[in-house]
Amino acid sequence: MAGLTDLTLKAALEGLADKSFSSEEITRAHVQAVEAARALNAFVLETPERALETARASDARRARGEAGPLEGVPIGVKDLFCTEGVRTTACSDILGDFVPTYESTVTSNLFRDGAVMLGKLNMDQFAMGSSNESSSFGPVINPWRRRGGNADLTPGGSSGGSAAAVAARLCLGATATDTGGSIRQPAAFTGTVGIKPTYGRCSRWGIVAFASSLDQAGPIARTVEDAAILLTSMAGHDPRDSTSLPVETPDFAGFVGKSVKGLRIGVPKEYRVDGMPPEIEALWEQGIAWLKDAGCEVVEVSLPHTKYALPAYYIVAPAEASSNLARYDGMRYGLRENGANLVETYEQTRAKGFGEEVKRRILIGTYVLSAGYYDAYYLKALKVRRRIAQDFDQAFERVDALLTPTAPSAAFALGDNAADPVAMYLNDIFTVTVNLAGLPGMSVPAGLDAAGLPLGLQLIGRALDEGTLFSLGGALEKAANFDGRPERWW
């Protein structure tokens, strides 16, 4: 049944519908693939018994004519999503063996539509990272390797487990989250498709919080159409999340394949940064040419406050994190290190439970929110954020979408940037603006670098206009004809 793991999600749904195979058969094939790929460390918890039991129930529903839109397809779930009765840790020691008594809205929607969960996927601790090296379960290893090399590469972060699992054919799709690029950058590093929808399109209820005004759930999948199918199920208004938008969810897959003729595409001049590798520049030019060939008009636009986006993000996000993570104190759940008194218990629990990157961001956030620095840092960052959003508003008066690179490089080796936090943060240079403005962004695999590693192009759209991104993403996907996949070494 090895061939079942090579199917796209759309092809799997078609095969299940015409009874070419059962959900139990395709789930079992993926369970075996997960077991055989433990060297990648993509899953931090496998749930094979639950998956096969769910698959059998799915086959029974299909036999009764009650199949849902995702009936019987095996997926992976990032360990940031609370799953009822299944350990959820955000890949941090401080949550210990926390088992939620409730289900996140996004996973509830997926299971309602018939998806089968294979297990929980590795990630940077509390979603803080760009390389999946801050996980308390150890780093995920990218299934891709440089041509002729055997160095372990990062799959990107924080959704590294999700991206690696999809790229290695361990699941048909995966949930992920994006606070500053954590869906799009891993997708670019692994040759997969990832979309961060508009802020509020997917409910944050039941997702462990990092930065509440930036976090957004989305899918990582093998094709643009697969991502569209998953997002249609994931999205929807949720009254339990005050930031959830009360809007209808369109059938996103219906936009894939639509003509993009006549659309105006903006190329922001500020994204041509110093030191950008020639291969990234060349791929960007190739993407522009592909969209022109598809009938789009390409124009240069200006986003003048882009240069302030990264510093503003690394003030706003840590500030929100320091507030959100105050709840982890060893009192109600998770790790508890007993001290001589209450304050010492707090200190020892948090010192042992949080990883170095999480501590760094909590300290940054606490500093910028402190009485003497609130106006100088946090308030100023909020003003910059507003200007960044206005830049996009003005650009979208002239264009329908923007085209940029997704990341400033291909996947780098594990450990390369570990000692330099600023070098690591620069991985988010093309992605953080989208989160600060609350806009949808998609990464589409578009080519390989000289070492044979995948590179991605990013599309940025107007708020709630994911449909246009799916149409443009489909056009890029068709033109690029990207069929690369990692050679199996694990």
pLDDT in tens, 73-98: 999 999 999 999 999 999 999 999 99
The answer to whether residue 158 is catalytic is yes
Q: Which residue has the tokens 């199920």?
A: 233
Catalytic one among 131, 159, 182, 443? 182
The answer to whether residue 182 is catalytic is yes
Q: Which of 465, 458, 473, 467 is nearest to 403 (CA)?
A: 458
pLDDT at 1 over 50: no
The answer to whether residue 213 is catalytic is no
Reported residue count of the chain is 490
Q: Residue 301 phi/psi, 5° resolution?
A: -130, 165
Q: How far apart are CA 250 and CA 197, in angstroms?
A: 13
pLDDT of residue 2: 54
pTM score of the predicted model? 0.97
- Which of 111-120, 200-209, 366-375, 396-405 has the least mean pLDDT? 366-375
Catalytic one among 10, 22, 78, 196? 78
Q: How far apart are CA 402 and CA 465, in angstroms?
A: 12
What average pLDDT does this structure show over 216-242? 98
Highest mean pLDDT among 104-108, 408-412, 415-419 belongs to: 104-108
What average pLDDT does this structure show over 96-122? 97
Q: Which of 442, 407, 444 is nearest to 424 (CA)?
A: 407
Q: How far apart are CA 290 and CA 413, in angstroms?
A: 31
Tokens of 446: 């578009």
Domains of the chain, first to last:
2-259+434-480 (3.90.1300.10)
State the pLDDT confidence band at 55, using cuts at 50, 70 and 90: very high
Catalytic one among 130, 131, 158, 162? 158
- Which of 7-16, 106-115, 121-130, 414-423 has the least mean pLDDT? 414-423
As a three-state string, the secondary structure of the chain is CHHHHHCCHHHHHHHHHCCCCCHHHHHHHHHHHHHHCHHHCCEEEECHHHHHHHHHHHHHHHHCCCCCCCCCCEEEEECCECECCECCCCCCHHHCCCCCCCCCHHHHHHHHCCCEEEEEECCCHHHCCCCCCCCCCCCCCCCCCCCCCCCCECCCCCCHHHHHHHHCCCCCEEEEEECCCCCHHHHHHHCCEEEECCCCCCCCCCECCCCCCCCEEEEEECCHHHHHHHHHHHCCCCCCCCCCCCCCCCCHHHHCCCCCCCCEEEEEHHHCCCCCCHHHHHHHHHHHHHHHHCCCEEEEECCCCHHHHHHHHHHHHHHHHHHHHHHCCCCCCCCCCCCCCHHHHHHHHHHHHCCHHHHHHHHHHHHHCCCCCHHHHHHHHHHHHHHHHHHHHHHCCCCCEEEEECCCCCCCECCCCCCCHHHHHHHHCCCHHHHHHCCCEEEEEEEECCCCCEEEEEEEECCCCHHHHHHHHHHHHHHHCCCCCCCCCC
| Mean pLDDT score of the chain | 96
pLDDT at 420 over 90: no
